[in-house]
Each structure stands twice: as C-alpha cells, then as structure tokens.
Amino acid sequence: MKKFIVILSAAIMCSCGIYKPYTRPEVMTDDLYGAGVETADTLNLGYLGWRELFTDPQLQALIEQGLAYNTDLQSAQWRVKEAEASLKTARLSLLPSFNLAPQGGVTSFEDHRPNWTWTAPVTASWEIDIFGRLLNGKRRAKALYAQSQEYRQAVQTQLIASVANLYYTLLMLDSQYNVSKQTAAKWRESVETMRAMMQAGMTNDAGVKQMEANYYAIEASLFDLEEQIRNVENSLSSLLGEAPTRIVRGSLDGQDFPEELTVGVPVQMLSNRPDVRSSELNLVQAFYSTAEARSALYPSLTLSGTFGWTNSLGSMVSNPGKMIFSAAASLVQPIFNAGANRARVKIAKAQQEEALLSFQQTLLNAGAEVNNALTQVQTARSKTSLRRKQIAALERAVESTELLMRHGTSTYLEVLTAQQSLLSSQLTQISDRFDEIQGIVNLYQALGGGRDMDTDETEESK
C-alpha cells in the first residue's frame, strides 16, 4: 500500500504541468501597423458602435435588417448554441453519473407457480480527475465556445461592413448617374448648337456627327450605370435576407465621418478583432489538447457503486423487497498503449506549434489590413483639393472653348476634348470620395468594429 501511495504521489508531482492554465505567448506588436503610423493608448475607431460611425438613417435601418435576417449570421448563432451545449457536456463530465436500471422477469418450471423477480438499482460512476484529463477537456470546450462566439462576431462585423460598402457603392453610382445625365443634357444642347452653326456655315457635318456620337455614348453609359445599380441593389437585398427590391437611400454628399481616424495601439486589436481572438482561441484549444493528451499517460481512478432494492437474492429475501448496496474503485494505468499515448502527445504538441504560427501570421495580416485602409483614406483625402481645382479649371476650359467655337476661333475637337476631360474628372472625383468612405469602412472592420460590448461582457462572464 505504501508503495502504491509513493508511485501515485510521484506521478502527481510529474504531472503538475497539465494543470497550468493558458497564458498568452509573447508576440511582437511593435510597428504592427507599419512604420510611421501614429499610435496612442486611446480608444480606436474599432471601439465605436456602428450607429456612431454610420449616421445615415437609411443605412442604419438596413444594417438592423441585416442583423435580424441575414442567414449567415443566423447560422453562426446556431454554431454558438452547439458549442455552448458541448461546454455544458464537458462541465457535467466532472460530476458523478447516475442511472436507474430496473429489471424484472417471470420464471416457471413445469407445474410450479410462476416466480416473479425484480431489481431496481441506481448505479453511480465517478471518475476522480486526479491528472486533469476532464479539467483540460472542459477548458478546451470553453475555448471552443468562445471561438464560436468570435466566429459569430466576425460574421457580424463582415456583415455590417458589407452592407455599408454596398450602400455607399449605390450612392456613388447614383452620383455618377446624375453627373452623366446632366452632362448628356448639356451635350444635347451642344449638338443643337452645332447644327445651328452648320446651317450658318460656321462648321461642317463632321463636327456635328462627332458631337452626336459623343452624346449617344453618354446616353448609352446611363444604361450601364442603371444595370450596375440594379446588380448592387440585388446583392444588398440578398445580404438583408429578402428578395430583390429597390433600396431606399440618401446621397453621397450627405455622408459625414470623423476627421481624426485613431487606430489605438496594436495590443487593443488583440482584444477586439474577432479573427485575431479566434486564432488565439485556436491556440488555447491546442494548448489544452496537449495537456489532455499528456494526462492520458497517467492512471485514471474511477469510483462506482449500486444502491437499490430487489427480491432476487434467494434465501436472503424474506419480504417483497430488500435493499442492496455495493461500492468499488478501479485504478487503470496505461501499459501496452503507453507508446500510442506518447505519440498522441507529440501530435498535440506539433499542432500547438502550428496554432502559434497561425496566430502570429493572423496578427501580421491584421496589421497589414489596418495599414492598407489608412493608406486608402489618406490617399483619397490628399487628392480631394487637387481634384476640386482640376474640375474648376476644366469647367472654365469648357466655357472658353465653347465661346471661342461660336466665334469661329476654336474647333469642335477642342470643345469635345474639354467636355470629355471634365466628365472624366467629375466621375473620378466621385470615385475618390467613395474610396475615402470605403477606406474608413475597411479600417473600421480591420480594427474589429461592430462589436456589441455589452453582449461580450455577458458572454465572457459565463
């Protein structure tokens, strides 16, 4: 007995490592957003609620509809429920199990009276988790549950960003359609002017036809824009979980966003961005899987017992039912399968290293996405004032060339060139504004925006 206690004590001391909880490994976050990007320990853009960033009432209504009816988000929510049930199962495995197994039967020999026997036992079994196999299994299930929550959050963040991007795409196309329509009306007037000038002998038929051709090209582009608008509306309707329909919306000029786009310090992204958190939770699962595999190298102790009533104990039964009770304990030490268990530990360790590398790569990818979004916004904003000056200059050029053509000192080719350049710059200006807004949306997503903080605090407290 003393020898058994010594062996058991030595095994417990050797297995202390399997009880250690997970701690985050050291990760390099210096210059994660890129060199030269200003960071400060303050709340970043990702901590804003989506209603604070997207103030357009029509867009807010669309996002709310998407959160309520999007099928991908609903599927992610069911995945959370599955993981929650698995966590409850893992927690219950630490407790004793009880089963009621009543049995009965009738026996008769030749002409003897039938004999009725019955047993109504309650069996119990309890594995004493000396070496943490069940504990580490529960911890791994808890990490899996948290990872399912992060997956749902990632779907929600992606959904909010996708709805916003499609909405702003519609506003961009609306603006381009309006500019093209106004330009087509002006070119129609230019065609009429050219025809009058040809009748007066001030220009030739080639100039009129060239002007008409450009006018028809603008009219045709309106149909292309209408098709793009319809396609984007259909895509947005699909995200909202409804059949294709017309999307009620505002205007691109009416959108307002913060001038200062704070990104915070990189460590904030570790606690806010869902895919980074999910990647770390995958590492947590691998850590506890390794500990669980290591615990299989040590003995397992199980207590079992039976309590109930029976009348099938032969001569010991003198009344219809007697109480029965039994108890047992078993200690199982792996011997012949110890090699297989050690191999499982090596596999688990290798998977843990893979999960660590994946976590580090996820951080690098996230930092690159933040840098790309910041660059997109800064580039678009830098072009804004220059584009405005360019359009003002081209508007004056169009007026001047049209006036000179009427006086016979300029050709229709100069007028066409000026008009085409003006239209191209106006459409590009709209695209620049859309790029700026899209960059803000991408930055919001890259920083883990769209998270419901109140819900997260409730879930983390479970």
Q: Measured on CA atoms in the order 128, 130, 135, 140, is the torsion positive or negative?
A: negative
* Model pLDDT, residue 325: 66
Tokens linked to 198? 């040809």
* Model pLDDT, residue 333: 63
Q: For the chain, list the domains and their CATH numbers.
A: 15-103+116-460 (1.20.1600.10)
Beta strands in 3-138 (DSSP E): 97-100, 103-107, 115-128
The stretches in the chain having pLDDT less than 50 are 1-8, 10-15, 315-319, 454, 458
CA angle 435, 441, 442 (to 5 degrees): 85
Pairing of strands 115-128, 103-107: antiparallel
Angstrom distance (rounded) from CA 272 to CA 269 = 5
Angstrom distance (rounded) from CA 96 to CA 91 = 11
Tokens linked to 11? 């095994």
Residue holding tokens 């060199």? 35
Would you mind telling me the total number of residues written for the chain in this entry? 462
* Model pLDDT, residue 55: 92
Per residue in 202-215, is it b (16+ CB within 10 Å) or e — as a string? ebeeebbeebbebb
Residue holding tokens 């006036």? 403
Return the amino acid letter for 107.
T
**Alpha helices, DSSP H, located in 271-337:** 274-295
* Model pLDDT, residue 316: 46
* Model pLDDT, residue 94: 67
* Model pLDDT, residue 258: 84
Q: What is the three-class DSSP state of 176? A: helix
Angstrom distance (rounded) from CA 313 to CA 305 = 18
Burial class (CB in 10 A: 0-12, 13-18, 19+), 368: middle
* Model pLDDT, residue 4: 43
pTM score of the predicted model: 0.77
* Model pLDDT, residue 357: 92
